[in-house]
Amino acid sequence: MSINDATARPNEDGGTGVIGAMDTRLTWEGTVGDNEQVSSITLSLPEGATFDHSSTRITVLDGLNRTSIEGTATSADNSMSVQFSEDIPAGSLVRLEVTGMQFPAEGGDYVVSGSYTTADGQSHALDDSAAITVIANTPLQAAVSWLDAQPWVAAWNSNPFLGMFFKPQLLLASFASLFPGWLVCLGIVLICYPFAIVLGLAFAMLKTSRHKVLRAIAICYINLLRGTPLFLQIYIMFFGLPMVGINIDNNVLGVIVMAVNSSAYLAEIFRAGIQSIPQGQYEAAASLGMNGFQTMTSIILPQTVRRVIPTVTSDFITSYKDTSLLSSVGVMELMMFSKNLTTTSGNITPYMAAAIYYLIVTLPLIKVVGIIENNIARSERGGGPRPKRRAAADASDEVATAEQDLASSATVFHAEASKPAGDVFAALSAPFVSHPTVDLGGVADGE
C-alpha cells in the first residue's frame, strides 16, 4: 500500500496555519497496491500528538466511485487504527479523515507513519508522509483560547443573537485577519482619489465649456458612468478587458475602476460648484483685465474648492465603502476577507468586524463634513471669525469680549483662536470658514 498524501486542516482562526495542541483534522490518503487486499490501517504521529476524542470518516473509492466499505476506528494517544468491515480490494483509494485530533504543542514538521495489515494477516510498514508543518501557539490564538475558557464568554455566546453577531473570540480573530484587507481598501481609495479628482475636474471643465462637442463628450462620459451601477462597471472591466487581451493586476484595475467611477460624480460636484460662483466674480475678474484662464485658476476655482469640500468628502466616503464591491471579482479587500472568515466559521461576527473597520474611517469623516458644513453655514449668517486680535490681548479682555458675543459656537472658536495652539487651528481652518456662500443647489446629488 502506498501513501498519496497526508495533510492537516488549518485551525488558526482567520489564518492558514496548523497550530499544535488544538483540534484539527488530519486527512490521510493511500492507494492499495496491485496484489494485495487491506484489512486494517494504523497511523501514528510522533510523541505529543493525540488522537484521543477523535472521530474518523472513512472513504473508500474505486476510481471515482465510492464503495460501501465501512470500518471502526480506535485511537490511543499518538496512534489510531481502522479495522475495515471487509477487505479493501487492490487499486482502491482509501481516505481517512480524522477529526478532533491534535498535533504536539511545540510545533515543527511532523510525518505520519504507520502500518497496514493485508488480508492474509501480514503486517507491513507504511511509507512516511510528506512533513506537515505545525506552528506553536500564536499570541492571538492564546488570547482566543483564553476567551474560550471564560464563563462570561460562554454565557454571552449562549444568546443566539450575540453569539452569531458578536462572538468575542471571533471578533478578536477577525480584527487580526481582516487587517490586510482593510489596508487594501484604504490603499485603493487613497490612490484612486487623486486621479478621480483630476479627471473629475477635467470633465467639469469640459461640461462648462462653450464648445458643443466638448460638452457632449463630458455629458456622455458623466451620464454613462452615473447611470450604470458600479457593480456592472466592475464586471465589464474585470471580465471584459482580459477578453480583449489586456491583463492588468487586480488591485491596479480596482483602482482604475474606482477612479473612473468617482470621477463622474466628482465632475458633477465640481460643475455645480463652479456654476454656484456668482456672475459678479467673473465680471470683477474681467474688470481687472484677467483672461479666461486666469479667472478660472485664481478667482473661480479657489472659491469652488472651498464650497465642494463637504460634498467631495461625502463622495470619498461613498467610494471607500464601494470598494467592497471589488470583492466579487477577487480583489482581496475587507469584504473578501470577512466573507472568507464567515464561510469557514459559519458565523456573522467577521462581517461585524468589517463594519467596525469601515466605521473607523467613515465616522470621523462624517464628523468632519458636519463641522465644515456648520462653518460654511455660520459664515453665511455672518458669524465667521473676526479679524485676529492683538497677540498681547490679555485673557480677561478676551472673556469679556466672548461674553458679549451672542453666538455661542463662535465664542468657543474665538476663545480657542486666542491660544497659541488655536492659532494653528485657525490658520488651518481659515479656508473653510471665512467665505460667504450661496446655496450649492444640485451638488447634493454627488451620492
Partner 1 sequence: MKNSMSRRQFILAAGALAGSAVLAGCGGSSTSSSSASTDSSSASTSSSDDSYTLVKDGTLTVVAELGFAPFEYMDDKTGDPEGFDVDVIKAVADKMGLQCEYLPNQKFDTLVPLIKQGGKADVSIAAITITDVREESVDFSEPYLDSNQAIVALKGSAETRETLNDASKQVVCQGGTTGDDWITEKLPNATRVPVDDVTAALTGVQTGLYNAMVVDLPVAKYMLTNSFSDLEIVEEIATGEQYGIAVSKDNPNLTKAINKALEDIKSDGTMDSIETKWFGSTI
Residues that bind partner 1 (CB under 8 A): 5, 7-10, 16, 25, 27, 55, 57, 59-61, 63-66, 93, 95, 97, 99, 160, 164, 238-239, 242-243, 247, 250, 328-330, 332, 336, 339-340, 342-344, 346-348
Beta bridge partners of 73: 82
Which residue, 63 or 227, is less far from partner 1 as judged by CB?
63
Residue 4 phi/psi, 5° resolution?
-95, -40
Which residue, 57 or 419, is less far from partner 1 as judged by CB?
57
Cell of 391: 497677540
Which residue, 63 or 382, is less far from partner 1 as judged by CB?
63
CA distances from 116 to 99, 236, 428 (A): 20, 55, 78
| 93: Cβ contacts below 8 Å, ≥ 6 apart | 4, 29, 30, 31, 32, 60, 61, 62
Query: At its nearest, how many Å lie between partner 1 and the CB of residue 366?
Result: 25
Query: At its nearest, how many Å lie between partner 1 and the CB of residue 424?
Result: 45
Query: At its nearest, how many Å lie between partner 1 and the CB of residue 193?
Result: 25
Which residue, 34 or 249, is less far from partner 1 as judged by CB?
249
Q: What is the CA radius of gyration of the chain?
A: 33
Query: At its nearest, how many Å lie between partner 1 and the CB of residue 229?
Result: 16
Q: Cα separation of 183 and 186, whole Å?
A: 5
Which residue, 2 or 291, is less far from partner 1 as judged by CB?
2
Nearest Cα residue to 28 out of 94, 86, 83, 90:
94
Nearest Cα residue to 113 out of 33, 196, 26:
26
Query: At its nearest, how many Å lie between partner 1 and the CB of residue 239?
Result: 5
Give 28-80 as a DSSP string: EEEE--TT--EEEEEEE--TT-B-TT-EEEEEEEETTEEE---EEEEEETTEE
Cell of 200: 473629475
Which residue, 55 or 281, is less far from partner 1 as judged by CB?
55
Which residue, 69 or 189, is less far from partner 1 as judged by CB?
69
Query: At its nearest, how many Å lie between partner 1 and the CB of residue 107?
Result: 16
Cell of 1: 500500500
Residue 359 phi/psi, 5° resolution?
-65, -30
Give 130-186 as a DSSP string: PPEEEBPPPHHHHHHHHHHH-HHHHHHHHSHHHHHH--HHHHHHHHHHHHHHHHHHH
Residue with cell 499518538: 78
Which residue, 61 or 202, is less far from partner 1 as judged by CB?
61
Query: At its nearest, how many Å lie between partner 1 and the CB of residue 331?
Result: 9
Query: At its nearest, how many Å lie between partner 1 and the CB of residue 416?
Result: 40
The alpha-helical segments, DSSP class H, found in 159-278 are 160-165, 168-207, 212-227, 230-235, 241-243, 250-275
Query: At its nearest, how many Å lie between partner 1 and the CB of residue 135?
Result: 13
Residue with cell 501514528: 44
Instruction: Yes or no: say if 105 and 136 are a contact pair by the CB < 8 Å rule.
Output: yes
The shares of helix, strand and coil residues in the chain, as percent rounded to the nearest 5, are 55, 15, 25
Which residue, 65 or 122, is less far from partner 1 as judged by CB?
65
In the DSSP assignment, the letter for residue 120 is T
Which residue, 63 or 139, is less far from partner 1 as judged by CB?
63
Query: At its nearest, how many Å lie between partner 1 and the CB of residue 327?
Result: 9
Which residue, 239 or 425, is less far from partner 1 as judged by CB?
239
Query: At its nearest, how many Å lie between partner 1 and the CB of residue 89?
Result: 15
